[in-house]
Amino acid sequence: MAGEPQDDCLFCKIVGGHVPATIVRETDTTVAFRDINPQAPTHILIIPKAHHADAAALATAEPLLAADVLREAQAVADEEKLESYRIVFNTGTGAGQTVFHAHAHLLGGRGMQWPPG
């Protein structure tokens, strides 16, 4: 069921404290932690605590929670003193999503190319 923790979800396990992560910020609705395979000097994932498979599911089911994720991305960027940054949501395997729990990648600390991929 959407929103409910999933036993086989890595990010649900991080939210539940069953898998360690380097957490940089936490609110009632979100957790932000450093990516274990960083693609930029600053690479932090911001996730909703509630399980939603991807950004599209999150936006459809809980638009206010989607806004919380974006607000936290800004707060993390401020704490990391990033003057510019990129926020990426991968949705589906073809876009590179490997963990099927909605999450935003906050990337910064270097110049970004366009197009990105």
Q: Among all residues, which ones are annotated catalytic? A: 103
Q: Which residues contact 47 (CB under 8 A, 6 or more apart)?
A: 11, 14, 15, 30, 31, 32, 33, 69, 101, 102, 103, 104
Helix (H) or strand (E) holding 59: helix 55-61
Between CA 9 and CA 66 the distance in angstroms is: 19
DSSP state of 22: -
